[in-house]
Structure 1
């Protein structure tokens, strides 16, 4: 099968699979709604049908189920695109958004809000502080790693490791300082969940995601040139430092917005770009949009499993992604070792 055919089949398959998962997920729950009713309700919203006769089912779909499904797709898409961007910027197959401290910083902001009991923005207080914490931490990592107007990849990664360690210590201190209810809420937030999804949250994430994806696509050609190496890329006219700065800011904005509502969801940004790259190849003009769809599909499936594996319980979604991502990460390490002939 030729590469154009594989790419077309991948996009078509991911698009159809994501729509199917979204519809199935919207119908599954303690109050089951047939798939035909889910489709009928969707068609009614775009003016192509009479809608549902049961107002309770209609309300369940549009006030509870669809906000969660759409937020899962958005967060998964953001993490997939951010992972592809990070791996392209760093030239490292093991890079993901957490490398630059965005998740740990968001956790610090959210934990501070929970322990202090702040509510100056109402229901948006914890997400807003999570967003601010993730963004500020990422910018701090990037600023601390710069020397003489430049930042090296190794220095950036090591700075991220150090800042992540400090953030983890701050979170532990906040948990120690808070009461039992605050500790439980912080732990649940760190495990990741979409149980509190609402339409206002969706509308908050969507603009930042759209801007981030558009900018990522605009950077795709320069990322392909950067894959040749920093020196060849500079000779071809790429401003490597500006490219990395732009990419890191885009990742910080998108991921901070996503995890501020979902909590920490690991490994999606790591495994999705690699799975897509095996089919499409390394070109970022295809890799970025394909990672968007694949990330949305993966988190949609994970959220469906989180809601349905146990009766009357909502499993933290971060547990499922870690169970899948951990073995994949280990396999990737072994594969990298075999190909390179060692760990260097």
Structure 2
């Protein structure tokens, strides 16, 4: 009788281990890049500080006792708070940009799609018309945050998104119209108060307004809560890619999910923009880069784009601080100079693939 060969027993653990490493590798690479960007941001500047000394100052080791007190002040009072805030701002813009691209299924969507940048600009323009306004006043971020959220709520009320397929288009068009209107009002107010506009113009180009730990303390709750909510809704964003009708057939309340995502992404962006200014291309190009490298599953795309956005903005801020040292460029200029060519590359690559 002829024997039947028995298939070898599958090796479960090696394949599972390989699958785990393949899934964890992108997160490890992003974390390594972020760690390098953090170290470089704190160590490099007008007064270079070796990474070993930075480590001693941060952890208060015995080696830091012999260092000049001015180095500790530079690290704790200047560079570290700026580094942490820039990291948070990059996270906010990249995660919100990825969320907006998923909500509207539009690769050109970015965090300013619904007029957040224009609303924040109008808030700053109103702030500089206040009698006794000081260019370094902390009232600017408050007005910027209020203006951004007010415009988003107004856009959502105007568009009245419903269940029809044109609801996303109405929302985008309402955002474009409201943004243009708010930008025109802001330009008019800037024109009427020329003597106070230098600080405001620096903010519009992505110049960080306030130093110290206040921007970190005030923006941290909004940004972290918003990012965590968007992470939790990664599966919802995956379902939205099939269209509203098919997503509803899975039991998803599409309108409520979209409303939560839009408000969350807008709040997260407004919290960062209020202190960091309008910084372009991070929320547009970084999600594309993460999608190009690791696919379009939003459960992975959102955290990877968030880590990558923090690293990219930290490196851009480092260039802004060192290119024309001791002068500092607004970081928005650097991101535009670097992001525009990259985005043209993406457009050409996508066109060639089709």
Query: TM (normalized to structure 1)?
Result: 0.91
| Preserved contact between residue 279 and residue 331 of structure 2 (Cα < 8 Å) | yes
How many angstroms apart in 1 are the aligned matches of 2:287 and 2:225?
20
Measured against aligned partners, the alpha-carbon deviations of 1:182-219 in whole angstroms (never above 9, x if no partner) come to 22222111101226332011011111111111111121
Q: Name 2:316's counterpart in structure 1.
A: 302
Q: Distance in 1 between matches of 2:22 and 2:65?
A: 39
1:244 aligns with 2:269: no
- 2:331 and 2:302 map into 1 onto residues whose CA distance is 24
**Corresponding position of 1:21:** 37
1:113 and 2:127 matched: yes
Contact 1:193 1:263 in 2 (8 A): yes
Question: Which residue number in structure 2 is paired with residue 34 of structure 1?
Answer: 50
Q: Is the 8 A contact 1:6 1:280 kept in 2?
A: no
Inter-partner Cα distance in structure 2 for 1:9 and 1:117: 55
Matching of residues 84-163 of structure 1 within 5 Å: 84-117=98-131, 123-146=137-160, 152-163=167-178
Q: What is the CA–CA distance in structure 2 between the aligned matches of 1:32 and 1:339, rounded to whole Å?
A: 45
- Corresponding residue pairs, total: 334
Q: 1:59 to 1:173 in 2, by over 3 A?
A: same
Query: Of the two, which has the highest radius of gyration?
Result: 2
3-state SS of paired residue (2:112): helix
Task: Identify which range, 4-13 or 76-85, moves more after superposition.
Answer: 4-13
Residues 201/147 of structure 1: CA separation in 2 closer, same or farther (3 Å cut): closer
What residue is the counterpart of 1:168 in the other structure?
A: 183
Alpha-carbon distance in 1 for matches of 2:20, 2:189:
52
Distance 1:209 1:183 in 2: 28
Structure 2: gaps of 5 or more residues: 1-17
What is the deviation of 1:290? 0.8
Q: Is the 8 A contact 2:161 2:171 kept in 1?
A: no
Distance 1:213 1:278, change over 3 A: same
Q: TM-score, normalised by structure 2?
A: 0.89
Counterpart for residue 280 of structure 1: 294
Q: Kindly indicate whether residue 192 of structure 2 is the aligned counterpart of residue 177 of structure 1.
A: yes
